[in-house]
A and B are shown apart, each in its own frame.
Chain A
Amino acid sequence: MRFAGLLLALLLSLPGFAQDSLDADQQARYRQMIHELRCLVCQNQTIADSDAPLAQDLRQQVEKQIREGRSDAEIKQYLTARYGDFVLYKPPVKGSTLLLWIGPFLLLAVALVMALRMLRRRGSSAAPTPSVDPQALQRLLDEDKK
């Protein structure tokens, strides 16, 4: 009897079983959502990938709240109120994350400007300057003949 209870508990804790009470649309939302949320214990995994107890709790929360009819935004709000933006794999666009979002484009712009300036400089001095001094070369050749 005790064994059966344990087995049941184990089965219920599997992520796949948690979604049984959801309809197809809700299941799709659930699956999408757990792939966008970070497990805070094992930081480079989503809560879908992780078997940590906390990830199980968070999956259960997501499933429960979807069943209760909450929107994705509301569920994310619930989680960020507790764990901060860190729980989201996609950081929100706001003041403190602005540099994160536009930083790569800024760097690209700086690199383009520098590349253009370099190209223009090279283009203006098109005449190839001789790298060998002809007089010095002649002197060397003369020396060789002696």
Chain B
Amino acid sequence: MRFLIPAALLVVLLVFLGIGLKRDPREVPSPLIGKPAPAFDLPQVGDAARFSQENLKGRPVLVNFWASWCAGCQVEHPLLMQLAQQQGVEIIGMDYKDTDADAQKWLQRHGNPYRRIVADAEGTAGLDWGVYGVPETFVLDAQGTIVYKQIGPMTEQAWKEKILPLLQGSKS
């Protein structure tokens, strides 16, 4: 009886510590979830027309911040290729703090999963989108609202368990 309270406290503490262990402190929840995509108006890589957040509306898209200098981007690249080619997912690339020449060289070597590539050379769009390390991928519904943010490389698991259900939900 005397040890009941300390024992109960210990159990509560262990549960909290256990939950804490499973969480990744590198994943900072984005305050942009549920909000419209932040505004930008930037040139494209390999296309003379400019591209803004208005061009993201009308269908669900993935907005993928990447760069030719980014190692994590090579990790997720095969999956992005597969999503674009086999599942017809529209991926907009945001070329973050990169040069057009480097980006194009990188895409020639690895393949291009992007429908459009926006040149965010100064990282201004990245700042407004709350990007703190590439790669980061935002999932937008047809209204241009951010419904999910993947921090770090895209994974098969995140795609199947988190993003696909959201996209299917927004279509219906």
Interface, chain A (partner B; CB < 8 A): 40-41, 43, 53-54, 57, 61, 80-84, 86
Rounded to whole angstroms, the CA-CA distance of A40 and B127 in the bound complex is 12
Q: Is B30 positioned at the interface, with any CB of A under 8 Å from its CB?
A: yes
A57/B31 in contact, CB under 8 A: no
With beta carbons under 8 angstroms apart, the residue of B31, B97, B123 that contacts A82 is B31
> CB-CB contacts of B111-134 with A at 8 A, as 1s and 0s?
000000000000100011110110
**B residues 10-54 touching A (CB-CB < 8 Å):** 25-26, 28-32, 38
Minimal Cβ-Cβ distance residue in A for B133: A41
Interface, chain B (partner A; CB < 8 A): 25-26, 28-32, 38, 97, 123, 127-130, 132-133
Nearest CB in chain B: distance from A74 CB, A: 16
Give me 11 A-to-B residue pairs in the complex whose CB atoms sit less than 8 angstroms apart, sorted by A's number. Answer: A40-B132, A40-B133, A41-B133, A54-B132, A57-B123, A81-B31, A82-B31, A82-B38, A82-B129, A83-B28, A84-B28
B133/A54 in contact, CB under 8 A: yes
With beta carbons under 8 angstroms apart, the residue of B26, B29, B127, B133 that contacts A61 is B127
Nearest CB in chain A: distance from B17 CB, A: 15
Nearest CB in chain B: distance from A91 CB, A: 13
Rounded to whole angstroms, the CA-CA distance of A84 and B133 in the bound complex is 15
Minimal Cβ-Cβ distance residue in B for A53: B97
Contacts of B128 in A (CB 8 A): 82
Interface centre among A40, A53, A83 (most CB of B within 10 A): A83
Contacts of A83 in B (CB 8 A): 28, 31, 130, 132
Minimal Cβ-Cβ distance residue in B for A43: B25
Contacts of A81 in B (CB 8 A): 31
Interface centre among B26, B127, B128 (most CB of A within 10 A): B127
A82/B25 in contact, CB under 8 A: no
Contacts of B133 in A (CB 8 A): 40-41, 54
